[in-house]
Structures are given as structure tokens and as C-alpha cells.
């Protein structure tokens, strides 16, 4: 079957529906949901029961880049600065030095055991050098793994921030394969250009996006998430245009926004969470359609050998060397080594050699696909078991079934106060988003003129409002009084 304008919506929606239904039952059998998406795509492909012929790496790459923008932005919005601050240095070490060590060690291994040239081996190593944000986010959050000692923020920070390094290495080594006469040191200026410009653009666009979202007045609340999407793509495309790393810029922009007071912040985060899942499904379906299973079989032997070296030698080596300056128990280092999940990102990066037309492009793509599938199947299915075996998992809690209990469990607050806003209070006439309200407190409801309102960041405080404020502790209530510019009852 060939995809046409007339049938693409029908076929696409059916594949999406099948993927969601398959994913609903996947964890009952211990299979990561991302593998199910890949499997659905492969079954629907030209060599599967669907018979859909798709062999366009350029379209697949475009879908991959768009999808990664949503996945990284959503992951950044959900990243708490307070959670990652204690592990920031470890995360940066893993996402830079760790990626480099993985790429170089695996590249040299491939060069030694295959007929690949050194640069071709390093290219393959670079393509699979980063852990996959989609795989790590979906598996850790899908399984609701509770890990000790900041392990989870470390893993999520690494997976969200190491794609830029892998991208730079992939582009650099691809250039060396295409132009073998170029010096190896030529990649150093490219690395610093990509990282420095990407980092500056990310924080700069994060600040600018906050100002735009909070100051612009839109007639419809539903347009604020759309505005965030536009700002996300502007961040990526402008950074890429000036020679910076767009993926790094998008992630840092989202991290900045996720830790600021924004109008309709919850709505924006919820929408990006849903879009990230949609993009993951679309991305894995597309990559499943792109691969030809008959071409995977001939590379299974060498693919198994490379995957084994990556999982059991290259990844642990990179983790242990990267974390040498930091105090960390051995079992935690082993667990970080095991959560080196490869997924869609390496497969997307593997389309670059295809489009460049190098000799071993198809072989590299098929090997990368096999490595990613092996990694998600082997490592993704054993994360919970290994966490318990290494004693890095926290005891599981029984999830409450009552909706109220569920809300309180997600937003645990131990203090509540009704705060009356005097006409002379500083908060009168101010938007909630501009009050610098304490992070550990929330305005749950506002009683105004005998009616209860559910506030958002755009809500303007009026004189004689009665605010129902919830906080983690009593000091949070005191800070709320200070932010509102009204004296507390104790004063």
C-alpha cells in the first residue's frame, strides 16, 4: 500500500489507535511501550501485514526533529530546578564527557572488529552515544519508579541534555567520513560553537518566552499553549540558524520556563505532556515503517556484539570515568550504567548518513536500529528488578483510589489559611503570576462576592477577596502573607 493524501489520515489514525491500545496492555507483559510502537510500525510496513511502503529518510528525519523538540521541551518543563541542582555537575559530566567516552570507545571497538574505517566506527559510536530522552522519561515515569539519592533527577537530566553532544559528534564524524582529509581537531571549534550558542540561546529565549507569555493578553485561554509551541520552534530554528545547538536551546528554554511563574502554566504543561506522547508514538511508528526487517537479519550477529560492548563495557566505562570526581556508592553507579537506554534518537541520527549517501549508510542504520531495539528490550524491562536488587529503589506506596486523596497525594499540603485581602494590600490589582508567590504554597480558591473562583496565573487580585491558601508548612503561609503585602493575623 502506498500512502496518499486520501488515505494517510485513515491509516495514520488507525495506527495511532492500535498503538495506544497495544501500549495500554504492554506493561502487563513487562514490555516497554516504545517497543510496541516500533512493532506496530514494522508490522504495518512494506514487509509486514500492512504492506505500507515507506522509504523516505528525509521525511523520517523531519518527523524525528519535530518530535524531539516536543519530547525535550516537555521533559524540560517537568524538570524541577530544586531537584536537579544537587546533581547538576553529575548530569553535565554524564551528558558531555560520558557521551564522548561512549562514542570513542565504541567507535574504536567497531573499527577493530569490522571492516569499518576509524571515522566510520566513530560515526556509529557517536550516533548511539546518548541515552534516549523519550525512552528514559516514558519508562521511569510510566513505571513510577521511586529511586534513592537523586538517582531519578540525575538520569532524567542526563537523558534530556546529552542529545546535543551526540548530535555534535554525529555531524562532526559524518563530516570526517565524507571528507577524510580534514583534521580531527576541526571538530573542536564546532563543539564549542554549538554548545555555547545553544546554551546562551536557550536561557535567553527562556527569559524572553516568560516575558511574552505573561505580558501578552490573549482572548482565549487555549491560545497560550499554542503560543508556547510557537516559541519552542522559534527557539530551535533561530538557534540552529546562528550555528548553535537547537536541541540544547529547546531543553534549556523549557527548564527555565518550567521553574518560573507562568500564566496557565498547568495547562501548558499538560498539553505538552500529551503532545510529547503523541510525538513519541508518531516517531516510533515512522521509524518502524522506515526499517526493513529483512535487512536487519544479516546484521544481527555484528549488531549483537556491538550492543553487548555498548551495554556492558562502553556505557559503564563512561559512567565510572565521568563520575570519578563525585562521591557516590558503587551500586548507584552500576544502576546509572544500566539505565543507558537507546531508543528513537539514535535511529533519527542514523538517517543523517543515509541522506549524506556514504557507502555504509544502510548498514549503519540497520545496526543502530538493532542496538536501540536490544537496549530497550533488555534494559528497559529490567529497570525495576535491578533497582530492587541493587537496593536503590524506595518502597512502593499504595496509590489512593479516592480522587480527593489522589489530589492531596500529588499536592501534599499540611497548612491552610484563609487570607482576607484588605483594600490597602499591595496585591490588589496585581496578577497572581506577578506576586512572586512562594513555590511551596498555592492559592487553591478565591471567594469573591459570595462566589468561589478557581484562579490561574492571569487572575487579578481584588480588594476584599478571600484567598484559600495551602502550603507545605506554616512558614510558607507567612511567605504568602508577605507576597500579598498584607499583615498576617499574628502580626
The pLDDT profile of the chain, 491 residues, written as one tens digit per residue, is: 666 666 777 877 888 888 777 666 555 544 567 778 888 888 888 888 888 888 899 999 999 999 999 989 998 998 888 888 889 999 999 999 999 999 999 999 999 999 999 999 999 999 999 887 767 766 666 555 667 767 888 888 898 888 889 999 999 999 999 988 777 787 888 889 999 999 999 999 999 999 999 988 888 888 999 999 999 999 999 999 999 999 999 999 999 999 998 888 888 999 998 898 888 888 888 988 899 989 999 999 999 999 999 999 999 999 999 999 998 889 999 999 998 888 888 999 999 999 999 999 999 999 999 999 899 888 888 888 888 898 887 765 544 444 444 444 444 455 788 889 988 888 899 888 888 888 778 888 898 988 888 888 888 899 999 998 888 778 888 888 888 888 766 55
Distance CA 343, CA 128 (A): 9
What residue spans of 179-264 are helical by DSSP H?
187-215, 223-241, 246-258
Q: What is the pLDDT of residue 240?
A: 95
Other C-beta atoms within 10 Å of 372: how many? 27
Give me 421's grid cell.
485581602
Q: How far apart are CA 397 and CA 410, in angstroms?
A: 13
Residues 6+ apart with CB under 8 A from 386: 335, 338
Within 10 angstroms of residue 473's Cβ, the number of other Cβ atoms is: 13
φ, ψ (nearest 5 deg) of residue 445: -150, 160
Of 341, 312, 308, which is closest to residue 163 (Cα–Cα)? 341
Backbone angles phi, psi at 246, to 5 degrees: -65, -35
CATH, domain 404-484, list 3.40.50.300, 3.30.70.1450, 3.30.420.40, 3.20.20.330:
3.30.70.1450
Question: CA nearest 94: which of 190, 172, 161?
Answer: 161
Q: Which residues of 204-219 are buried (b: 16+ CB within 10 A; e: fewer)?
A: bbbeebbeebbeeeee
Distance between CA atoms of residues 54 and 56, nearest Å: 6
For CA atoms 196, 199, 201, 207, give the dihedral sign: negative
pLDDT of residue 418: 87
Q: What is the residue-wise DSSP string for 5-74?
A: TTTHHHHHHHHHHHHHHHHHHHGGGT--HHHHHHHHHHHHBTTSSS-BB---HHHHHHHHHHHHHHHHHH
At residue 310, the pLDDT reads 96
Whole-model pTM: value is 0.80
Distance separating alpha carbons of residues 446 and 466, to the nearest angstrom: 6
User: What class has domain 8-181+261-389?
Assistant: mainly alpha
Angle between helix axes 315-322 and 330-338 (nearest 10 degrees) is 140
- Supply angle C-alpha 50, 54, 56, rounded to 5: 170
CB 54 within 8 A of CB 2: no
Here the cell at position 214 is 505573561
DSSP string, 383-401: HHHHHHHTT-BPPP-PPP-
Q: Which pLDDT belongs to residue 343? A: 80
Domain ranges across the chain: 8-181+261-389, 404-484
Which of 321, 315, 371 shows the shortest CA–CA distance to 338?
315
Q: Decide: helix, strand or coil at residue 448.
A: strand
Query: CA separation (Å) from 242 to 61, 172, 198, 233, 423?
Result: 21, 17, 9, 14, 50
Residue 419: enclosing H or E segment and its boundaries? strand 415-420
**Closest listed residue to residue 170, CA positions, set 361, 370, 316:** 361
Q: DSSP letter string over 77-100?
A: HT--HHHHGGGHHHHHHIIIIIHH
Angle between helices 118-127 and 99-113 (to 10 degrees): 140
Amino acid at each position: 500500500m502506498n500512502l496518499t493524501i486520501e488515505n494517510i489520515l485513515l491509516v495514520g489514525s488507525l495506527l495511532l489507535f492500535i498503538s495506544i491500545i497495544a501500549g495500554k496492555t504492554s506493561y502487563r507483559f513487562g514490555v516497554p511501550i516504545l517497543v510496541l510502537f516500533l512493532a506496530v510500525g514494522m508490522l504495518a510496513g512494506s514487509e509486514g501485514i500492512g504492506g505500507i511502503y515507506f522509504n523516505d529518510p528525509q521525511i523520517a528525519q523531519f518527523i524525528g526533529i519535530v518530535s524531539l523538540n516536543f519530547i525535550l521541551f516537555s521533559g524540560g518543563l517537568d524538570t524541577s530546578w530544586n531537584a536537579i541542582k544537587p546533581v547538576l555537575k553529575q548530569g553535565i559530566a554524564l551528558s558531555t564527557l560520558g557521551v564522548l567516552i561512549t562514542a570513542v570507545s565504541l567507535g574504536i571497538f567497531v573499527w577493530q572488529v569490522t571492516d569499518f574505517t576509524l571515522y566510520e566506527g566513530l560515526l556509529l559510536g557517536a550516533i548511539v552515544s546518548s541515552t534516549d530522552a523519550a525512552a528514559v522519561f516514558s519508562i521511569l515515569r510510566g513505571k513510577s519508579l521511586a529511586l534513592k539519592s537523586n538517582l531519578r533527577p540525575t538520569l532524567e537530566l542526563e537523558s534530556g541534555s546529552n542529545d546535543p553532544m551526540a548530535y555534535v559528534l554525529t555531524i562532526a564524524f559524518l563530516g570526517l567520513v565524507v571528507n577524510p582529509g580534514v583534521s580531527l581537531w576541526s571538530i573542536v571549534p564546532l563543539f564549542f560553537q554549538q554548545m555555547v550558542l545553544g546554551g546562551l540561546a536557550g536561557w535567553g529565549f527562556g527569559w524572553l518566552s516568560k516575558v511574552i507569555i505573561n505580558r501578552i493578553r490573549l482572548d482565549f485561554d487555549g491560545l497560550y499553549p499554542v503560543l508556547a509551541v510557537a516559541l519552542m520552534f522559534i527557539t530551535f530554528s533561530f538557534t540552529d540558524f546562528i550555528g548553535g545547538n537547537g536541541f540544547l536551546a529547546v531543553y534549556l528554554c523549557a527548564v527555565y520556563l518550567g521553574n518560573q511563574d507562568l500564566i496557565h502554566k498547568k495547562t501548558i504543561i499538560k498539553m505538552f505532556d500529551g503532545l510529547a506522547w503523541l510525538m513519541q508514538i508518531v516517531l516510533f511508528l515512522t521509524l518502524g515503517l522506515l526499517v526493513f526487517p529483512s535487512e536487519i537479519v544479516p546484521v544481527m550477529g555484528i549488531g549483537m556484539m556491538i550492543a553487548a560492548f555498548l551495554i556492558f563495557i562502553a556505557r559503564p566505562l563512561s559512567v565510572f570515568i565521568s563520575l570519578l570526581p563525585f562521591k557516590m556508592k558503587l551500586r548507584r553507579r552500576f544502576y546509572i550504567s544500566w539505565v543507558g537506554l537507546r531508543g528513537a534518537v539514535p535511529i533519527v541520527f542514523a538517517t543523517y548518513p543515509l541522506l549524506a549517501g556514504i557507502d555504509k549508510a544502510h548498514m549503519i542504520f540497520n545496526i543502530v536500529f538493532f542496538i536501540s531495539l536490544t537496549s530497550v528490550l533488555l534494559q528497559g524491562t529490567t529497570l525495576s528488578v535491578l533497582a530492587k536488587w541493587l537496593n536503590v529503589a524506595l518502597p512502593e506506596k499504595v496509590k489512593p483510589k479516592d480522587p480527593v486523596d489522589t489530589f492531596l497525594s500529588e499536592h501534599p499540603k499540611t497548612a491552610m489559611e484563609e487570607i482576607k485581602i484588605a483594600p490597602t494590600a499591595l496585591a490588589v490589582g496585581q496578577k497572581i503570576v506577578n506576586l512572586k508567590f512562594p513555590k511551596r504554597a498555592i492559592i487553591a480558591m478565591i471567594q469573591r462576592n459570595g462566589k468561589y473562583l478557581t484562579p490561574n496565573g492571569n487572575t487579578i487580585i481584588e480588594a476584599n477577596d478571600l484567598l484559600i491558601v495551602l502550603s507545605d508548612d506554616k512558614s510558607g503561609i507567612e511567605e504568602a502573607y508577605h507576597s500579598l503585602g498584607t499583615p498576617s493575623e499574628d502580626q
